[in-house]
A and B are shown apart, each in its own frame.
Chain A
Amino acid sequence: MIATVISVPQLIVFVVAVVIIAVGGVGLLSARYPVHAALFLVMTLFGVAILFIEEGAEFLAAVQVVVYAGAVVVLFLFVIMLLGVDREEIASFAGDTVRIVLAGVGVVLILAELFIVATGAWATGAHSAAGKLDAGSNIGVLARSVFTTYLLPFELTAALLVIAVVGAVILSGRMNAATGVTEPARGGENLEVER
Chain B
Amino acid sequence: MPGSWYLVVAALLFGLGTFGVLTRRNVIVMFMSVELMLNAVNLTFVTYARMLNDVGGQIAVFFVLVVAAAEVVVGLGIIVAIFRHRATITVDDISSLKG
Task: Please give me the residue from chain B that is nearest to A96 by CB atom.
Answer: B23
Q: List residues 101-156 of chain A with CB under 8 A from any CB of chain B.
A: 102-104, 106-108, 110-111, 114-115, 117-119, 123, 125, 127-135, 138, 141-142, 145-146, 150, 153
Q: A178 on the interface (CB 8 Å rule)?
A: no
Q: A177 on the interface (CB 8 Å rule)?
A: no
A28 to B31, CA, bound (A): 11
Contact-size category for B: 35 or more
Q: Given that A76-B32, A83-B80, A165-B73 are known contacts, is A92 also in contact with B4, CB under 8 Å in the complex?
A: no
B13 to A: closest C-beta gap in Å: 6
Q: List residues 1-52 of chain B with CB under 8 A from any CB of chain A.
A: 1-20, 22-26, 28-29, 31-33, 35-36, 39, 42-43, 46-52
Task: Please give me the residue from chain B that is nearest to A104 by CB atom.
Answer: B19
A159 to B33, CA, bound (A): 26
Query: Which residues of chain B have C-beta atoms less than 8 A from A106's C-beta?
Result: 18, 22
Q: List residues 69-109 of chain A with CB under 8 A from any CB of chain B.
A: 71-72, 75-76, 79-80, 82-83, 85, 89, 91-93, 96, 99-100, 102-104, 106-108
Q: Are B9 and A194 in contact (CB under 8 A)?
A: no
A21 to B62, CA, bound (A): 21
Contact-size category for A: 35 or more
Q: B94 on the interface (CB 8 Å rule)?
A: no
- Contacting residue for A142 out of B1, B18, B43, B58, CB 8 A: B58
A129 to B54, CA, bound (A): 9
B95 to A: closest C-beta gap in Å: 15
Q: Are B22 and A130 in contact (CB under 8 A)?
A: no
Query: Which residues of chain A have C-beta atoms less than 8 A from B80's C-beta?
Result: 79, 82-83, 171-172
Interface of chain B, main secondary structure: helix
A85 to B40, CA, bound (A): 28
- Contacting residue for A64 out of B4, B48, B56, B65, CB 8 A: B65
Q: Are B65 and A51 in contact (CB under 8 A)?
A: no
Q: Are A103 and B22 in contact (CB under 8 A)?
A: yes
Query: Which residues of chain B have C-beta atoms less than 8 A from A131's C-beta?
Result: 54-55
Q: Are A48 and B43 in contact (CB under 8 A)?
A: yes
| B contact set with A: CB distance below 8 Å | 1-20, 22-26, 28-29, 31-33, 35-36, 39, 42-43, 46-56, 58-59, 61-63, 65-74, 76-81, 83-85, 87, 89
Question: Could you name 5 residue pairs across A and B whose Cβ atoms are closer than 8 Å?
Answer: A11-B1, A41-B36, A119-B7, A164-B69, A168-B77
Closest 10 CB pairs of A and B: A118-B7, A171-B77, A114-B11, A103-B22, A128-B56, A164-B70, A130-B56, A168-B77, A25-B16, A157-B66
